[in-house]
Amino acid sequence: MFEVGGQTAIVTGAANGIGEVISRRLANAGARVAIADIDDQAAAEAAERIGKHAFPLHLDITDANSVRQAIETLLVRTQSLEIVVNNAGLAGKAAPVWEQTDDDWNRALAINVTGPFFMCRAVMPHMRSRRYGRVVNIASHCCPAKISGSDSNSLTISTITHGRSKNDLDWKGAGLTSFRLPTGETMMGELWTHRLLATDPTSARKRISEVCCPPRWRF
Ligand SMILES: NC(=O)c1ccc[n+]([C@@H]2O[C@H](COP(=O)([O-])OP(=O)(O)OC[C@H]3O[C@@H](n4cnc5c(N)ncnc54)[C@H](O)[C@@H]3O)[C@@H](O)[C@H]2O)c1
């Protein structure tokens, strides 16, 4: 079991599914956890289920102002933010490229790519000033595995799964680390996040690759 006592985490899309499980695990490990979601009622209910370390926070990751406001509100409340889990994501329409509409594509892009960018941009000044931060980007196994049938999901999440070098360079040297997790099934999200946060980034990444990923999926 890892310990993150005294730290603050924000998990996007935390009112349901993998996000709620990640939030519960972080809260059990001692973190204050912002259940950040566009669905206020579901976020409040999830925070209630998780317990006293969790609290709801309104956030629309597709809206830069909403993200900025949410991070400001969070920092006023907790004074610090150490962990960001960019979990909110959209599976998208299960259809090949030629059946995807402009709206299908733009919606997937806004949630799966622009949202994590807004989050990173909003939290980075605080984390850089503290020279500490951990960002986990939840992606999908559909990208490395080249699963067909949901192309707006595959193509947009590929950006998160593979678009790492420049972002990593920006964060390096400022005491910050970012991760991408290509989740394969719901349980994997919890397991991998647990393992990543348990130890130092380098050995965690190596262990995850060894334990969870077939060779062709490794980072
Ligand atoms: N469930 C799986 O098996 C699976 C597999 C591969 C990848 N993933 C990835 O894992 C992540 C979580 O998946 P899940 O199945 O638990 O999701 P989910 O659909 O159960 O929950 C998504 C949450 O995001 C919230 N949300 C939607 N739009 C939002 C917005 N604009 N701003 C803030 N919150 C918003 C929703 O209200 C909801 O609470 C996603 O990024 C998904 O792509 C999941």
Q: What is the 3-state secondary structure (H, E, C) of 66-87?
A: HHHHHHHHHHHHHCCCCEEEEC
Q: What is the pLDDT of residue 31?
A: 97
Does residue 96 have a pLDDT over 70?
Answer: yes
Higher pLDDT, 104 or 145: 104
Residues 175-195, mean pLDDT to the nearest whole number? 55
pTM: 0.81
Q: Are 182 and 217 in contact (CB under 8 A)?
A: yes
Task: Give strand pairing partners of 181.
Answer: 138
**Mutate-to-test residue for ligand 1 from 140, 151, 191, highest number of ligand atoms within 8 A of CB:** 140
CA of 75 to the centre of ligand 1 (A): 24
Q: What is the pLDDT of residue 179?
A: 66
- Confidence label for 147 from pLDDT (cuts 50, 70 and 90): very low
**Mutate-to-test residue for ligand 1 from 10, 12, 20, 87, highest number of ligand atoms within 8 A of CB:** 87
176-181, strands of its sheet edge to edge:
54-58, 32-37, 8-12, 83-86, 133-138, 176-181
Fold classification of 8-212 is Rossmann fold (3.40.50)
Query: Looking at ligand 1, which atom is closest to the CA of residue 17?
Result: 16
Higher pLDDT, 52 or 77: 77
Q: What is the pLDDT of residue 219?
A: 35
- Confidence label for 170 from pLDDT (cuts 50, 70 and 90): low
Q: What is the pLDDT of residue 148?
A: 45
CB under 8 A, 24+ apart: contacts of 185-192: 185/141, 186/17, 186/18, 186/21, 188/141, 188/212, 189/18, 189/21, 189/22, 189/87, 189/138, 190/18, 190/21, 190/22, 190/25
Q: Give the separation between CA 81 and CA 213, rounded to whole angstroms.
A: 30
Residue nearest to atom 43 of ligand 1 (CA): 89
Domain chopping of the chain, boundaries: 8-212
Residue nearest to atom 30 of ligand 1 (CA): 60
Token pair recorded at residue 44? 């409040």
Percent of the chain with pLDDT over 70: 63
Q: Give the separation between CA 164 and CA 179, rounded to whole angstroms.
A: 9
- Residue 121's closest CA among 87, 167, 155, 76? 167
